Amino acid sequence: MKKNVLHALVAMTVSNIGRKEGARTKSRIVAASASALVLAMLQGCGGGGSSGGGGFALSPAASSSDKPAQALDTAPSFKSETLPVSDPGECLTAPQAGSIADVGNGIEGVWEAPPLAGGFSGGTMQIDSAARAQGSTYEFMTLSGAQFPRLDASFYGDLVFSAASSSWQFNLGSGMLYPEMGNPKPLSGNGNFSANSTLSGSYTIGASASRTFGPWTYSPGNSLAVDSTVLAKRWGDLNAVTAGELVVAPDGSFTGVISPMMAYGLGMCAFSGNFRHRDAGTLKNDLVFDFVATDVAQAGQTPCRMLEYRAGSAHVHVTQATAAGVCKRSMSLWMVFEDTARKPLASINFYGMRPASAPS
């Protein structure tokens, strides 16, 4: 069986701040959801290292005959300044005790690429405490007269970094460039970083020309200490139509379902599993999970394509914005389904949440 896997990166949200802006955002989301999911076949193994938190291995991946009927290489992202406030807490102004920003090594955590025009995300990268990196960047494409972010590059691998010289370089890794997103190639690159602040440099995928890497900025989510009070909620209220919902219990167990709109790429799936911190005993915003998916497709719906996925990583994505002198925070739960080398297979971002109902 060929080691081909379905790669679907999707980031969506629905804004309800301001009727005019809300209408514009809703129209963007509807158009993007209907025709701009990222779907590409990743071929080969690539990558290096192993998954943290126990390294759950995936079952053999789907064969090439499992390719979806439609496969587009575009991805809607989010307009950060219009995100509704989904967290009652105030903005993070200092690292919380036990957070990555408080106890991390200076390079680990979530990093964000410069936003594209209109506030769309330019990319996201997460580096764990063992310096294993995984990320994606986007560029704009025009679809039906409107602009949407398109997946431009995806990469994963090991970093070697020096705190003394504030330098980094890729060691083992693989990357993919548009339009050959199904063709992983060797990844190389190097640059500099300022601990808990910025990271930049250049990188090369295969025989392609050298490309600018970043500059990446340190996400405010690295200052969040993640415990059950943060995680145990019903996530997805703000984009349930486009993504689905996920309910997390205080013990880290979860159940979820993919929406029919998301099923355009991943199929109709329900799933259950357990979250835990990648670094046991910490409150870092760096989680791993194991899970089992179930096919819940009805007649005429796409069968679940996640049945052989078994594990992944996650973090609580934090967006902060100041309006009328008041800083507000919104949070979403970003789940990346991956193999043991942290190669991404698919991802779903659940926006907005409310406290999970108490067990009956």
Tell me: the pLDDT tens digits for 7-16? 333 332 222 2
pLDDT for 264: 65
- Is pLDDT above 90 for 216? yes
Q: How many CA atoms lie within 13 A of 248 on its CB side?
A: 27
Cα separation, 312 vs 175, whole angstroms: 18
pLDDT for 58: 19
Residues contacting 180, CB < 8 A, separation 6+ = none
Q: Specify whether the CB–CB gap between 296 and 268 falls below 8 A.
A: yes
- Is pLDDT above 80 for 213? yes
pLDDT for 282: 96
Q: What percent of the chain has pLDDT over 70?
A: 71
* Average pLDDT value for the chain: 74
Between these two residues, 174 and 69, which has the higher pLDDT value? 174
- Is pLDDT above 60 for 77? no
- Is pLDDT above 80 for 151? yes
At 78, is the pLDDT very low, low, confident or very high (cuts 50, 70, 90)?
very low
Cα separation, 58 vs 343, whole angstroms: 11
Between these two residues, 33 and 294, which has the higher pLDDT value? 294
Cα separation, 67 vs 251, whole angstroms: 36
Residues contacting 282, CB < 8 A, separation 6+ = 98, 103
pTM of the model: 0.75
Q: How many CA atoms lie within 13 A of 111 on its CB side?
A: 28
Nearest Cα neighbor of 40 from 166, 203, 178 is 178
